[in-house]
Structure 1
C-alpha cells in the first residue's frame, strides 16, 4: 500500500527554534560520513548474521513501510529477528501488549527467534538502516520512524515528532528505550527537536555506541 505525505497533517514548528542552513548541511555531511563508516564496519557482522538467519527459516532482511519527516513514507530495512509470519501472529497477541499510545511491545515476544533476541538486545538488527541514512530517508540521530497505524493515533502534540527526519538513535534510545512509556518517548523526541544541534548529535551517537558495546545492558532493547 502506498501512502502520500498528505495523509498526515503535520503542523508547523510551533515555536521550535529554526536551524541555520549550516546546521542542515553539517548534519547531512555527518550522516553521509557516519553511514559510510557504519556500512563498512557492519558489512562482515551483517554477512555472518545473514548466514545464521538464513539457516533459521526465512529471508534475511525485513523491509517495512515507515513514516518519515512530514509524513513521507519510506521503506526501512532491518535484519529479520522474528518468525516469517510475525505480522499475522500479532493479532493473536494484541491483548498481551505491554505498551499503549499506538506502540505494540511484549518483553518476551514469542515471535522473536533465538538469534533475534541476541540481535535486538544489542540493537544489531538495525545495522541495515545505515543504508536508509545514506539514502537520506533517515538520519543517524532523530525520533524513531513510526508505523502508519501508530501515526493514525497521534494527537496534535504527538505528531510534531514528524517535524524532523527520523533517526537510528536518539534521546529515547539512550534514555531507556522500551522501558519508557509512550508519553516519555514523545517528550524526549520533542525535547530533541527543540535542542537539536551537531554537538548533541555527536554526543548521542557516542553514547549509543557505548551502550551497544555494553552488551545491551539497561538499554531497554527488546
Structure 2
C-alpha cells in the first residue's frame, strides 16, 4: 500500500510527446544505429557466451524466446541468452510463494531454475544482450520500461498500465538504478517519471548509468 501511495499523483499525458516528431525520429534513428553497432562490437562476447552455454548444457537451446507485452499491450517475442533450465516456465507456479518482490512481478534471489553460467550472465546482465535484436526490429527501444509478461499485466490496474504507453526498453531508470532492491510500486514510480520526462538527454544519462552497471552490478539476479 505504501508503494501505491507514492505514485498515485503521477498521471501521463502521452500526447505531449507523441506530437514531438523530432524526438521520436531521433530516438528511433539512434536505436537503429546503436543496436547495429553494439551487435557488431559485441560479436566476440556473443560467441563466448554461446560456447559457454553449449559446454554447460550441450542439448539445450542457446537462446530463450519469451512472449512479452510492449507498447499498448502489443505482444512480441523477446530474445535472451538462456540462463535457466529448459522447463523453467513450468516450474514458476511452484515458486510463486517464494516471490521476494512486492507487486505484479516475480523475482527470487536464489532461483533454483538458474544455471551456473546463468548466475554469472544475470549478475552482469549479459543474458539481456540479445534484446539488441528487438531494438533493431523495432518492438523495443534501448531505453524504456522493463517489458512485462502477460501474466504480470493481467494483475495491472489501469493506473499501472500507463507504463505500457511507450516502447519497453533494454534498460531504463529502474534497471540502471535500484533494480531488484525495490518492489513493483517503486519500479512503476520510476517508469512513470521516465515516461513523463523522457528526452534524448535523459536517455543518454540512463545509457551511461547502464554501462557503469555492467562493470559494477546493482542487485541483478
TM-score, scaled to structure 1: 0.90
Q: Which moved more, 1:189-198 or 1:81-90?
A: 81-90
| Alpha carbons 1:99, 1:182 under 8 Å: kept | yes
* Structure 2 partner of 1:105: 107
1:66 paired residue number? 68
**2:121 corresponds to 1:119:** yes
> CA shift at 1:121, angstroms?
0.3
Alpha-carbon distance between aligned partners in 1 of 2:56 and 2:93, rounded to the nearest angstrom: 23
Contact map agreement 1:17 1:194 (CA 8 A) in 2: no
1:189 aligns with 2:187: no
Write out aligned runs for 1:75-154 (5 A).
75-154=77-156
**Contact preservation (8 Å) 1:79, 1:127:** yes
Partners of 1:194 and 1:129 in 2: CA distance: 24
The separation in 2 between residues aligned to 1:102 and 1:211, in whole angstroms, is 24
Structure 1 residue runs of 4 or more that deviate by more than 2 Å after TM superposition: 13-17
Aligned length: 207
**Structure 1 residue 125 displacement after superposition:** 0.3
Deviations, residues 73-128 of structure 1 (Å, cap 9, x unaligned):
10000000001111111122121111232211110111111110000000000000
Q: Which residue of the partner structure matches residue 18 of structure 1?
A: 16
In 2: Cα distance, 1:16 partner to 1:68 partner: 15
Structure 1: gaps of 5 or more residues? 1-12
Q: Is the 8 A contact 2:101 2:182 kept in 1?
A: no
**Structure 1 Cα separation of the partners of residues 21 and 190 of structure 2:** 24
When normalised by structure 2's length, the TM-score is: 0.91
Matched residue, 2:33: 33
Q: Which runs of 5+ in 2 are unaligned?
A: 1-10
Q: Residue 6 of structure 2 aligns with which residue?
A: none
